[in-house]
Amino acid sequence: MRAVHTLALVPVLMVLVGPFFLNRVTPFLLGMPFLLSWLALSLVLTSIVMAVIYHSDQKAASTQRDGHAK
């Protein structure tokens, strides 16, 4: 497993660990309670992280096809 694949743990930890520490209503962000905005941010971050992993794997696959693999 490559190091870039460990990025996939970041959104998972945001969803699983975040609510234990961020379950508050008072700070509103964009009209939403803080926890709801945290979970919405984790959803967006999941898409970004998966795109980074996908493009990283595409680069690795193209170098292996060309015969330049390690």
Delimit the domains of the chain by residue range: 3-60
pLDDT for 16 equals: 92
Average confidence (pLDDT) over 45-52: 92
Determine the pLDDT at residue 17.
92
CA angle 37, 7, 31 (to 5 degrees): 5
**pLDDT, mean of residues 30-58:** 90
Q: What is the pLDDT of residue 30?
A: 84
pLDDT classification of 47: cutoffs 50, 70, 90: very high
pLDDT band at 49 (very low <50, low <70, confident <90, very high): very high
Q: Where are the alpha helices (DSSP H) in the chain?
A: 9-22, 34-65
